Amino acid sequence: MTDYKAPLRDMRFILNEVIGLEKHYQSLGLADITSDLIDSILEEGARFSETALAPLNRQADEEAVTFENGVVTTPTGFKEAYRQYCDNGWASITAPTDFGGQDLPNSLATPFHEMTMSSNLSLRTYPGLTEGSILAINKHGSDELKNTYLEKLIDGTWSGTMCLTESQAGTDLGMLRTKATRNTDGSYSVTGTKIFITAGEHDLSENIIHLVLAKLPDAPSGSKGISLFLVPKFLPNAEGQPDERNAVTCGSVEHKMGIKASATCVLNFENAKGWIVGGEHQGLACMFTMMNDARFQVGLQGLGIAEMAFQGALEYANDRIQTRSLSGIKSPDKVADPIIVHPDVRRMLLTQIALTEGCRMMSYYVSTLLDKERFETDKQKHKENTALLSFFIPIVKSFLTDAGQEVSSLGVQVYGGHGFIREWGMEQLMRDSRILMLYEGTNGVQALDFIRRKLLGDNGKALNGFIDQINQFCDGYVYDDTKIKNNNIGGLITTLKDVLIEWESLGMEAIKAAQQDPEEIGACSVDFLQYSSYAVLPYFWALMATVAQKEIEAGSNEADFYNSKIITATFYFDRILPRTKMHKHALLSGAENLMKLNAKHFAF
């Protein structure tokens, strides 16, 4: 299995040269975050991921979690790595300073999180939802809950979960059956069963704090009647230490296709004592504080898997020798040439890198929107930024996880028969990445959210606003209607402008069709989201290409690095962007070809 190496040069290129983090932080009043701090976090994050997490990954997949008598044991080395994670301050990086956190911007944490997801996705899932729990409690919890739970969650002594799903209620949370009743002391008793709970039981932390969706006896029907409750595994005593065991138990762990070292649990609550977070019947709104963070993090998981799959495929393609190049011998000292000389292998590798680096640029850009959501003080700018962030979340969650699966599948293909063998590690990446398209809302659900709330919800305002932003970028490289400033990227800019015209038109077509027939919302949603994703990436590749071109013209001594950006950008425009044509044709074909066949005719 290939050793993970953090892609620091590419990360620095995006963060420092394309986005310009220091300037970004200054605009938000965060001038104390310097380039030295940024670089130290990247360096230390890389060292930790490469030396503490990555060496555990394959063996943890083989060993998996074990379950016996309600107790979950994590694989060998996980306890030590988790404790090191917390002791080094990684658990507190974005948490509020009032309770021991560092309150650093999301854009500083995002590259580190990507590294952990590349090096050991299963282990990363344990602290991942704790971060969401901190967000929800800090924003919606009472002062008493904050004072009791936040400090220990932030330092990693305790961990958190998000308990939504039930056997009969997945996406449709209005159907959940978990009940809560009021107690005379102001607490609540929670009863029900939750499934698919990541890190619902484990041996890494002293206590586990569950955030549970449930309904009160007098709750309105449907999703409007949901409340959110904090239910600890151990009830804290007067000194805030874990004491009496609460009535929440792990009934089983799932035997999964991938992320086998991550405990996915069935949790049973039997009059478990809990406290409400936010107001009664306000649970869904409170939970979505966690959900948006979780969906962004799942997108990053797709990026992390993609990076590791590309690294493995590239190493193998350089080492594996098979047949000679079609244009003649390239390695005369060997009996055959490395397979990287073959055009189809190049196609797979370039597809991997174009998707991976494009998705990295997208996610780092969106992380700056998360920064603005937290730190922007201008009300109008905050409102506009929040709308743009909301627009991007379903794209990041769905497209980056799709990319993770495609890139890992291509990795298996590059390895050939060895890719199908466990010892080489590539098939683990493909298995691990498959869940990403399912949890925190399937990618089909993300597509529905994108078209219903982000397109129809504001009649295309967010879409058109982002298109205007890209057009302003394009216009910065145009002297007049016919002359582009730079020959190397001129074709990219011209093509990008054409895509924007088509994207805007398709958005209006989708709105019109949905207004005429509600079935069109579901019929075109996936293709419209896919089209939008493939239309966003050329903007980010054009951004990277223009920066690279400027460095080349300035005489950089890293010309090969910058040339590779322009070449990969061109590959994306030539080989991947045309996928939009298929999605355009499909989404314009209408709902009839999906709905015309009677359900009873779907027969064996």
Catalytic residues: 440
Helix 106-119 to helix 283-319 angle, to the nearest 10 degrees? 50
Are 229 and 182 a contacting pair, CB within 8 Å? no
**Cα–Cα distance for residue pair 418/167, rounded to 1 Å:** 38
Which residue's entry shows tokens 């104390």? 32
Distance CA 268, CA 158 (A): 20
Q: At what angle do helices 487-516 and 559-571 cross, to 10 degrees?
A: 40
Give one word for 322, left, alpha or beta, with left for phi > 0 and alpha for psi -120 to 50.
beta
- Among the residues of 259-342, which ranges form H helices? 283-319
Residues in the chain: 604
Position 99: which residue type?
Answer: F
What Å distances lie between residue 209 and 48, 71, 86, 230, 254, CA to CA?
26, 16, 17, 7, 20
Tokens 């009059």, residue located: 271
DSSP letter at 600?
G
Q: Are 211 and 229 in contact (CB under 8 A)?
A: yes
Whole-angstrom distance, CA of residue 7 vs CA of residue 11: 6
Residue 77 DSSP class: T
Q: How far apart are CA 4 and CA 7, in angstroms?
A: 9
Q: What is the DSSP letter of 148?
A: I
Q: Which distant-in-sequence residues (6+ apart) come within 8 Å of 375 by Cβ? A: 28, 29, 30, 105
Q: How many CA atoms lie within 13 A of 308 on its CB side?
A: 34
DSSP per-residue letters across 172-227: -GGG---EEEE-TTS-EEEEEEEEEEETSS-SSSSEEEEEEEEE-TTPPSGGGGEE
Buried b (16+ CB within 10 A) or exposed e, 400-413: bbbbbbbbbbbbbe
User: Measured at the alpha carbon of residue 238, what is the angle toward residues 233 and 241, in degrees to the nearest 5?
Assistant: 45
* Residue 423 one-letter amino acid: E
Residues 280-317, buried b or exposed e (16+ Cβ, 10 A)? Answer: bbbbbebbebbbbbbbbbbbbbbbbbbbbbbbbbbebb
Helix, strand, coil in percent for the chain, rounding step 5: 60, 15, 25
Beta pairing partners, 208 = 159
Residues 548 and 566: beta-carbon distance below 8 Å = yes
* Residue 192: partners with Cβ closer than 8 Å, 6 or more residues away: 166, 176, 177, 178, 179, 212, 214, 269
Largest CA distance in the chain: 84
